[in-house]
């Protein structure tokens, strides 16, 4: 029975020829909530990509059954331990080859895994795209179809729509200078091509080069803004780290305003990590308490420490907590090395007790000032929140401040545009004729269509008719 399975792949390849040629990826569970996040892939390259990421060969395991795996990115970097399940075409949600990768419920991990899938050739799914493919492949029944219709209607009629439009509008506005430049460059190119027998100024190769490099600067800045921007959607993860018994769990409780973590005086009480969410200046913050960073004997605790490291690696900011009522010791320094290369703040906790350590050790050499708090009394927590907001909040960068690229799909769109512009630069360098440059620029415009709206031929033609005296 098992030996029949590879055949599914063979037939599926054939189908892909006249079907959707891309493999799409997206989280199947809502961002930031739940114990488990599921990443779903669908399309012709699903199995090779999932196999690369999980090390599980779909033809060696039963279909539609969960298999334990270690999830890695394309470079072999470990993301998480999880589960994978394969649904060979056509018996899947979309009717294509589908794989689902189950990860721990951490948005950072999911984002990382999705990015890894993209690096291996998948593209982020458009909203409703899994469902769309399911329709096109005749996989969705009537009830499901209605459910989807309801969902879409809810989005278009409800409050969700307003939020969505705002978000979209913001992005469109931010990208609009980029779009404007693309349209104007296309206008020049198309005028030179379609109206070369009219008496109009023709665009030179050098002009194109110059304009494309300006455009690339813009795409580059957009891409940079992503790292910050995505926090608005998925929130930022703030890890609380430090050696055992410096008051991390109490700090979490203080910040969350609730008794989430078990607080005891026994070092190593927090073996797994606990988390909670607050909103800080509009950014949803996921605060994650980690197990104390120390070489532990207990295998359970050791696992906890391993997970702590993982969280710190994926966090947007780490609060490194020191016990200000005792001198810094070797353990602190060792633990600090785990966070030193990551964005972090140093906290001197237990200000309610007589201070011993001023954190001098962590000052200087360009390092940010330490923040003094008392998790127990709440002293200094306001200053801490401001410090966090300063670190995670919007930059002065206009693009960023107005509308950060918040979604992986936006990032992909801009990245695709950037790649197409790169090709245009190269083509200009090789002195290829205008037509090829125009093809690349159009592709860049096309990539951005989702953020900016289509750039229709009519728009380019109108711009030509406005700007040039056309017609003999």
Partner 1 sequence: MSVYEYPKEYDVVVVGGGHAGCEAALAAARMGCSTLLLTINADTIGLMSCNPAIGGLAKGHLVREIDALGGEMGRNIDATGIQFRQLNTSKGPAVRSSRAQADKQLYRLRMKKILESTYGLDVKQAMVDAVFAEGGKAKGVDTSLGVRYRGKTVLLCTGTFLKGLVHIGLVNFPAGRAGDFPAMKLSDSLKELGFSVGRLKTGTTPRLDGKTIDFSRTAPQWGDDPPVPFSFGNREIRRPQVACYVTYTNERTHEAIRSGLSRSPLYSGVIRGIGPRYCPSIEDKVVRFADKERHHVFLEPEGLRTAEYYPNGVSTSLPYDIQVKMLRTIRGLEEVEIVRPGYAIEYDFVDPVQLVPSLETKVVENLFHAGQINGTSGYEEAGAQGVVAGINAARRVQGKEPVLFQRSEAYIGVLIDDLVTKGAQEPYRMFTSRAEYRLLLREDNADLRLSETGHRVGLLAAERYEEFRAKREGLSSLISILETSRVPAGHPLARAVEEAGGAPVRPGTGYAELLRRPEVTAALIVANDPDLARFSPEVVSQAELIVKFDGYIRRQEEEAKKLRKYEEVKFPGDFPFESVYGLSTEVRDKLVRVRPVSIGQAQRIPGVTPAAVALLLVALKKGRAATQASG
Which spans of this chain sit near partner 1 (rule: CB under 8 A)? Answer: 18-22, 126-128, 131-132, 135-136, 140-142, 145-146, 148-149, 152-153, 155-156, 190, 192-197, 199, 430-436, 438-439, 442-443, 456-458, 460-462, 465, 469-472
The dihedral sign for the CA sequence 72, 77, 80, 81: positive
Distances in whole angstroms, Cα of residue 170 to Cα of each of 165, 214, 464: 8, 22, 28
**Structure-token pair, residue 15:** 């189908």
Which CB, 11 or 196, lies closer to partner 1? 196
Distance CA 289, CA 311 (A): 9
Which CB, 119 or 432, lies closer to partner 1? 432
Least Å distance between CB 348 and partner 1? 52
Which CB, 57 or 153, lies closer to partner 1? 153
Least Å distance between CB 380 and partner 1? 48
Least Å distance between CB 145 and partner 1? 5
Which CB, 222 or 441, lies closer to partner 1? 441
Q: What is the 3-state secondary structure (H, E, C) of the chain?
A: CHHHCHHHHHHHHHHHHHCCCCCEEEECCCCCCCCEEEEEEECCCHHHHHHHHHCCCHHHCCCCCCEEEEEECCCCCEEEEEEEEEECCCCCCCCCCEEEEEEECCHHHHHHHHHHHHHCCCEECCCCHHHHHHHHCCCCCHHHHHHHHHHHHHHHHCHHHHHHHHHHHHHHHHHHHHHHHHHHHHHHHHHHHHCCCCCCCCCCHHHHHHHHHHHHHHHHHHHHHHHHHHHHHHCEEEEEECCCCCCHHHHHHHHHCCCCCCCCCCCCCCCCCEEEEEEECCEEEEEEECCCCCCCCCHHHHHHHHHHHHHHHHCCEEEEEEECCCCCCHHHHHHHHHHCCCCEEEEEECCCCCCCCCCHHHCCCCCCCCEECCCCCCCCHHHHHHHHHHHHCCCCCHHHHHCCCCCHHHHHHHHHHHHHHHHHHHHHHCCCCHHHHHHHHHHHHHHHHHHHCCCCHHHHHHHHHHHCCCCC
Backbone angles phi, psi at 79, to 5 degrees: -100, -45
* Residue closest to 413 by CA, chosen among 229, 185, 191: 229
Least Å distance between CB 42 and partner 1? 15
Least Å distance between CB 210 and partner 1? 20
Which CB, 112 or 130, lies closer to partner 1? 130
Least Å distance between CB 167 and partner 1? 15
Least Å distance between CB 5 and partner 1? 27
Which CB, 113 or 434, lies closer to partner 1? 434
Which CB, 231 or 442, lies closer to partner 1? 442
Which CB, 307 or 407, lies closer to partner 1? 407
Which CB, 140 or 285, lies closer to partner 1? 140
Cβ(383)–Cβ(345) under 8 Å?
A: no
Which CB, 126 or 398, lies closer to partner 1? 126
Least Å distance between CB 153 and partner 1? 4
Least Å distance between CB 423 and partner 1? 9
Least Å distance between CB 28 and partner 1? 18
Q: Is the peptide bond before 90 cis (omega within 30 degrees of 0)?
A: yes
Which CB, 75 or 472, lies closer to partner 1? 472
Least Å distance between CB 115 and partner 1? 23
């Amino acid at each position: 029975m098992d030996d029949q399975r590879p055949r599914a792949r063979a037939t599926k390849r054939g189908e892909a020829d006249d079907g959707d040629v891309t493999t799409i990826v997206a989280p199947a569970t809502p961002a930031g909530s739940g114990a488990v996040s599921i990443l779903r892939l669908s399309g012709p390259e699903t199995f090779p990509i999932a196999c690369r990421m999980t090390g599980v060969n779909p033809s060696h395991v039963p279909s539609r059954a969960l298999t334990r795996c270690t999830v890695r990115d394309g470079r072999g970097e470990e993301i998480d331990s999880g589960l994978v399940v394969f649904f060979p075409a056509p018996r899947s949600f979309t009717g294509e080859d589908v794989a689902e990768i189950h990860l721990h419920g951490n948005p950072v991990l999911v984002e990382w895994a999705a990015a890894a899938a993209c690096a291996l050739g998948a593209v982020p799914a458009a909203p409703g795209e899994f469902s769309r493919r399911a329709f096109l492949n005749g996989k969705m029944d009537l009830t499901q179809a209605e459910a989807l219709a309801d969902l879409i209607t809810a989005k278009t009629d409800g409050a969700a729509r307003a939020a969505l439009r705002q978000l979209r509008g913001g992005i469109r506005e931010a990208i609009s200078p980029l779009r404007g430049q693309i349209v104007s460059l296309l206008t020049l190119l198309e005028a030179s091509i379609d109206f070369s027998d009219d008496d109009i100024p023709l665009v030179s190769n050098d002009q194109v080069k110059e304009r494309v490099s300006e455009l690339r600067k813009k795409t580059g800045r957009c891409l940079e803004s992503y790292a910050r921007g995505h926090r608005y959607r998925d929130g930022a993860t703030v890890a609380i780290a430090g050696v055992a018994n410096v008051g991390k769990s109490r700090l979490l409780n203080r910040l969350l305003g609730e008794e989430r973590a078990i607080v005891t005086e026994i070092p190593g009480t927090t073996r797994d990590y606990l988390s909670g969410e607050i909103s800080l200046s509009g950014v949803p913050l996921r605060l994650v308490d980690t197990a104390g960073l120390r070489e532990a004997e207990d295998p359970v605790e050791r696992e906890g420490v391993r997970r702590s490291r993982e969280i710190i690696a994926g966090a947007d900011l780490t609060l490194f907590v020191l016990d200000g009522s005792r001198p810094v010791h070797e353990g602190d320094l060792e633990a600090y090395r785990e966070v030193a290369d990551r964005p972090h703040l140093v906290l001197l906790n237990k200000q309610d007790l007589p201070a011993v350590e001023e954190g001098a050790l962590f000052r200087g050499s360009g390092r940010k000032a330490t923040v003094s708090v008392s998790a127990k009394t709440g002293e200094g927590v306001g200053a801490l929140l401001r410090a966090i907001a300063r670190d995670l909040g919007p930059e002065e960068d206009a693009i960023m401040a107005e509308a950060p690229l918040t979604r992986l799909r936006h990032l992909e769109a801009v990245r695709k545009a950037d790649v197409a512009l790169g090709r245009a630069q190269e083509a200009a360098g090789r002195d290829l004729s205008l037509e090829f440059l125009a093809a690349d620029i159009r592709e860049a415009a096309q990539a951005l269509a989702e953020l900016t709206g289509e750039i229709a031929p009519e728009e380019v033609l109108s711009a030509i008719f406005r700007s040039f005296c056309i017609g003999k």
